[in-house]
Amino acid sequence: MKKLLVAAFTGMLLSTSALADVTSADIANDTATTGDVLTNGMGQHLQRYSPLDIINKENVKHIVPAWAFSLGGEKQRGQETQPLVHDGVMYVTGSYSRMYAINVRTGEEIWQYDARLPEGILPCCDVVNRGAAIYGNKIYFGTLDARIVALDLKTGDVVWRKKIANYKAGYSYTAAPLIVNGLVITGNSGGEFGIVGEVQARDANTGETVWTRPVIEGHMGTLNGKESTMTGTLNATWPGDLWKTGGGATWLGGSYDADTDTIVFGAGNPAPWNSWLRGAGNPKGNEGDNLYAASRIGMDPATGEIKWHFQTTPREGWDYDGVNEVVAYTDRSGNKRWATADRNGYFYVLNREDGKFVSATPFVKNITWAKGIDDTGRPIFNDAVRPGDPSKAIDGKKGETTFAVPSFLGGKNWMPMAHSPKTGLFYVPSNEWGMDIWNEPVTYKKGAAYLGSGFTIKPLFDDYIGSLKAIDPDTGEIKWEVKNNAPLWAGVMTTGGGLVFTGTPEGHVKAFDDETGEELWSFQTGSGIVGQPITWEMDGEQFIAVSSGWGGAVPLWGGEVAKKVNYLNQGGSIWVFKLPKQLASAK
């Protein structure tokens, strides 16, 4: 459902009547063209870096609100979106599958689209949406009933709407789509319901499916409407028929590396969580590894064929997932690398050509599930921390409880990190927590939770949970750390002005010195920040924007941690900041 505002309609439309089509070249140059933000991640590499330095360490203390926009109504749930900016218009997605077009100079609404969501949607972790994608004269975003919608940039009218999967079976979609060479590439959500993770590519103009690639072994891909190749080898790492409901949701979206012409998606937790049902106790080779769940997967963007994979947590039994963003960068020695900070608490560096393991170092404290990572990138399991097999329990109902670190919400969850090519560092929003976890019997039922586990999350330390860390990817050294009382759940951005921006659940958007971690600026937005900041230049001024609206997985799944932050207020707004022109050179 689209709503076009009448107030000041003519004047607003003048600002959008000359909207230029967005090309593949525009998308490829997104980081360098500072007048717009066309992609999730501020570049297909997902570095979340802008070379802008109008706002810098010396003058950031002077930035002030330019305008704020309310997302309105009673739908004030978690706002995890990243805004996009194109030709004087900001495009923002909101909770409950909404899209807004906003005049970027005035903060006035141009149009709004609300998806008609059916009864019975099954999102696991709040009714969030993480952003959109622009290509040509259309903007694309996903909905909670597992659809992808293309809207006209000028009017918000629906151009096409396609079904990704059946929401009644537990599928949904919350990520920002990826645009590569005229294809709209999407994943899916629903790993807690026994779905099968998949990546799909559609023609951006028509919405017709070009290829599909399931990410669980045994399932068949398609190309141009015909079967192509099987993913992996049937029953190589999955026992029996469990691969048919194997999970591996590709729920966070992907990145693209033009140098190797490779898209990379993460595949989430295998289903069910109870790893004993999936062969975790089998000691032979890689049986029980459950490929390609909990993995990063490199694919050919034209065909969906798998080029390589790297599994961060084989035999996964703690919901450590594997979807966290994979960032393309070049290290200080000129090597082309991928970097990813995993739910399991380790920061990985991979070779960009073939996904081969380079290094892994812990970025959170007191990890218990593994004793370390071996020279091949495989974890050295601490078997005592795997939740017990319920079939060996006296009553057969509950396996032995263990205390695992990190918790299933991860050393880092969905919230994206940033990389600065100036400092060579990654800026990682992390959390220090553990969990009591146990396994239970479970059988698959369509549309029902398929876990086979119970859990309670607990903070590790009395004085903080969240920790923003600056990590040197060459050494794994943590250069600085900023602690936060509540869990961090917002994205991070870094700039040529030597700044790192992020937000906190307590409502503050903050700027830090990228070399020291010193806090240089803070502003209270009125609700918790779980969104993703961006920056752009307009009329010679630099602007910063971020969404504010507490929600996401923590208040729903956080156990003792959720109780600790239950005082935080929900909201729903977009805040835009700028430096007054007269202070642009202030020291």
User: Are 487 and 412 a contacting pair, CB within 8 Å?
Assistant: no
More confident residue, 552 or 500: 500
Give CA–CA dist 241/221, Å, rounded. Answer: 18
Dihedral, 338, 343, 347, 352 alpha carbons, nearest 10? -10
| 298 pLDDT more than 50 | yes
66 with 103: CB under 8 angstroms? no
pLDDT confidence tier of residue 585, bands split at 50, 70 and 90: low
Where does residue 447 fall: left (phi above 0), alpha (psi -120 to 50 degrees), or beta otherwise?
Answer: left
pLDDT-derived band at 316 (thresholds 50, 70, 90) equals very high
The per-residue DSSP string of 334-379 comes to S-EEEEEE-TTSEEEEEETTT--EEEEEE-SS---SEEEE-TTS-E
Pairing mode, if any, of strands 295-299 and 306-311? Answer: antiparallel
pLDDT digits (tens, 9 = 90+) for 187-235: 999 999 999 999 999 999 999 999 999 999 999 999 999 999 999 999 9
End-to-end CA distance of the chain: 49
Residue 12: the pLDDT is 46
pLDDT in tens, 437-463: 999 999 999 999 999 999 999 999 999
Looking at residue 280, what is its pLDDT?
77
Would you mind telling me the total number of residues written for the chain in this entry?
587
| Average pLDDT of the segment spanning 555-561 | 82
338: domain CATH number? 2.140.10.10
Q: β-strand 534-538 against 541-548: which pairing, if any?
A: antiparallel
Dist CA 147 CA 184 (whole Å): 13
Show Cβ contacts of residue 545 under 8 Å, excluding neighbours closer than 6 positions. 83, 85, 90, 533, 534, 535, 574, 575, 576, 577
Reference 212, options 187, 235, 237, 232; nearest CA is 187
Could you tell me where the beta strands, DSSP code E, fall in 368-490? 370-373, 379-381, 402-404, 418-419, 426-431, 433-439, 453-459, 466-471, 478-484
Contact, 47 vs 419, CB < 8 A?
Answer: yes
Among 3-12, 74-83, 265-274, 490-499, the minimum mean pLDDT is found in 3-12
Q: What number of other Cβ atoms are within 10 A of residue 29's Cβ?
A: 13
Cα gap 1→171, rounded to integer Å? 22
Residue 13 token pair: 């439309």
Distance CA 254, CA 173 (A): 13
Instruction: Show the domain range for 249.
Output: 2-583
Q: Which helix (H) or strand (E) holds 149?
A: strand 147-152
DSSP 8-state secondary structure symbol assigned to residue 15: H
User: Which amino acid is present at 556?
Assistant: L
The rounded Cα 533 to chain-centroid distance in angstroms is 13
Residue 213: CB atoms within 10 A of its CB come to 29
- Confidence at residue 311, expressed as pLDDT on a 0 to 100 scale: 98
**Mean pLDDT on 260-273:** 97
Structure tokens belonging to residue 3: 């709503």
Residue 10 confidence (pLDDT): 37
Strands of 238-356, DSSP E: 254-257, 262-267, 295-299, 306-311, 327-330, 336-341, 346-351
Three-class secondary structure of residue 65 per DSSP: strand
DSSP 503: E
Q: Give me the mean pLDDT over the 126-137 stretch.
A: 95
C-alpha–C-alpha distance, residues 150 and 63, integer Å: 35
Instruction: Give yes or no for residue 16 having a pLDDT over 50.
Output: no
DSSP-derived secondary structure for 548-577: E---SSHHHH-THHHHHTTTPPP--EEEEE
What would the 3-class secondary structure string for 528-551 be?
CCCCCCEEEEECCEEEEEEEECCC
Answer yes or no: is pLDDT of 7 > 50.
no
Q: Is the pLDDT of residue 142 over 70?
A: yes
Mean pLDDT for 350-369 is: 98
442 DSSP assignment:
-
User: Across the strands, what pairs with 521?
Assistant: 511
List 30, 145, 289, 319, catalytic entry:
319
In single-letter form, the type of residue at position 190 comes to G
pLDDT of residue 283: 62
pLDDT in tens, 46-85: 999 999 999 999 999 999 999 999 998 666 689 999 999 9
Contacts of residue 237, Cβ cutoff 8 Å, sequence gap at least 6: 217, 279, 286, 287, 288, 289, 290, 291
Beta strand 254-257 pairing with 147-152: unpaired
Rounded to the nearest angstrom, the gap between the alpha carbon of residue 269 and the centroid of all alpha carbons in its chain is 15
The stretch 370-391 carries a mean pLDDT of 96
Highest mean pLDDT among 119-128, 273-282, 473-482: 473-482
14 pLDDT higher than 50: no
pLDDT score of 584: 65
pLDDT, average across residues 143-165: 97
Percent of the chain with pLDDT over 90: 86
Omega of the bond leading into 100 within 30 degrees of 0 (cis) = no
The pLDDT mean for the chain works out to 93
Distance CA 87, CA 463 (A): 45
Q: What is the pLDDT of residue 418?
A: 98
pLDDT at 282: 64
- The answer to whether 319 is a known catalytic residue is yes
> Which range, of 53-57, 116-120, 244-248, 477-481, averages the lowest pLDDT?
116-120
- Cα distances (Å, whole numbers) of residue 380 to 360, 365, 366, 405: 12, 17, 15, 15
Q: Which residues pair with 45 in a beta bridge?
A: none
Number of domains making up the chain? 1
